[in-house]
Amino acid sequence: YTILSKVHSDRNVYPSAGVLFVHVLEREYFKGEFPPYPKPGEISNDPITFNTNLMGYPDRPGWLRYIQRTPYSDGVLYGSPTVENVGKPTIIEITAYNRRTFETARHNLIINIMSAEDFPLPYQAEFFIRNMNVEEMLASEVLGDFLGAVKNVWQPERLNAINITSALDRGGRVPLPINDMKEGVYVMVGADVPFSSCLREVENPQNQLRCSQEMEPAITCDKKFRTQFHIDWCKISLVDNTKQVSTFQEVIRGEGILPDGGEYKPPSDTLKSRDYYSDFLITLAVPSAIALVLFLILAYIMCCRREGVEKRNMQTPDIQLVHHSAIQKSTKELRDMSKNREIAWPLSTLPVFHPVTGEIVPPLHTDSYDNTSTPLMQTQQ
Q: Place 6 in a pLDDT band, splitting at 50, 70 and 90.
A: very low
Do 60 and 8 form a contact (C-beta atoms < 8 A)? Answer: no
Q: Does domain 4-111 have CATH number 3.75.10.20?
A: no
- Say whether pLDDT at 249 is over 80: no
- Say whether pLDDT at 3 is over 50: no
Q: Place 357 in a pLDDT band, splitting at 50, 70 and 90.
A: low
Instruction: Report pLDDT digits (tens) over 211-225.
Output: 888 888 888 888 888
Name 137's Cβ contacts closer than 8 Å, sequence gap at least 6: 129, 143, 146, 164, 185, 187
Q: How confident is the model over 357-368, as a mean pLDDT? A: 58
Q: What are the backbone dihedrals phi and psi of residue 154, each rounded to the nearest 5 degrees, phi first?
A: -95, -40
The predicted pLDDT at position 39 comes to 67
Do 180 and 128 form a contact (C-beta atoms < 8 A)? Answer: no
Q: How confident is the model over 175-188, as a mean pLDDT? A: 83
Q: How confident is the model over 253-271, as a mean pLDDT? A: 68
pLDDT top residue among 40 and 66? 66
SS (H, E, C) 40-53: CCCCCCCCEEEEEE
The predicted pLDDT at position 227 comes to 82
Q: How confident is the model over 178-185, as a mean pLDDT? A: 83
Task: Enumerate the H helices of 171-285 as residue ranges.
Answer: 197-200, 205-212, 223-226, 277-280
Task: Enumerate the H helices of 159-204 as residue ranges.
Answer: 197-200
The predicted pLDDT at position 247 comes to 43
165 forms bridges with which residues in the sheet?
186
Least confident residue range of 60-74, 88-102, 118-132: 118-132
Residue ranges per structural domain of the chain = 4-111, 121-238
Least confident residue range of 26-30, 75-79, 293-297: 26-30
Q: Count helices and strands (H / E) in the chain.
A: 10, 12
The predicted pLDDT at position 292 comes to 95
- Say whether pLDDT at 104 is over 70: yes
Q: What are the backbone dihedrals phi and psi of residue 129, each rounded to the nearest 5 degrees, phi first?
A: -100, 120
Q: What mean pLDDT is reported for the chain? A: 80
Q: How confident is the model over 42-60, as a mean pLDDT? A: 86
Residue 40: asked if its preceding bond is cis (omega within 30°), the reply is no
DSSP classification of residue 106: E
The predicted pLDDT at position 356 comes to 63
Least confident residue range of 119-128, 257-266, 319-328: 257-266
292-315: string of b/e by CB count within 10 Å (b at 16+)? eeeeeeeeeeeeeeeeeeeeeeee
pLDDT top residue among 364 and 323? 323
The predicted pLDDT at position 342 comes to 58
Give the distance, in angstroms, between the CA of residue 45 and the centroid of all CA atoms in the same chain. 38
The predicted pLDDT at position 52 comes to 93
Identify the CA nearest to 225 among candidates 367, 115, 316, 129. 129
Instruction: Report pLDDT digits (tens) over 110-139.
Output: 999 888 765 668 889 999 998 888 988 988
CA dihedral 22, 24, 25, 26 (to 10 degrees): 180
Q: How confident is the model over 183-199, as a mean pLDDT? A: 89
Q: How confident is the model over 312-327, as a mean pLDDT? A: 82
CATH of 121-238, one of 1.10.1660, 1.10.1060, 3.40.50, 3.30.70: 3.30.70
The predicted pLDDT at position 224 comes to 84
Least confident residue range of 37-46, 232-241, 244-253: 244-253
The predicted pLDDT at position 12 comes to 87
The predicted pLDDT at position 188 comes to 92
Q: How confident is the model over 188-209, as a mean pLDDT? A: 89
Q: Place 369 in a pLDDT band, splitting at 50, 70 and 90.
A: very low
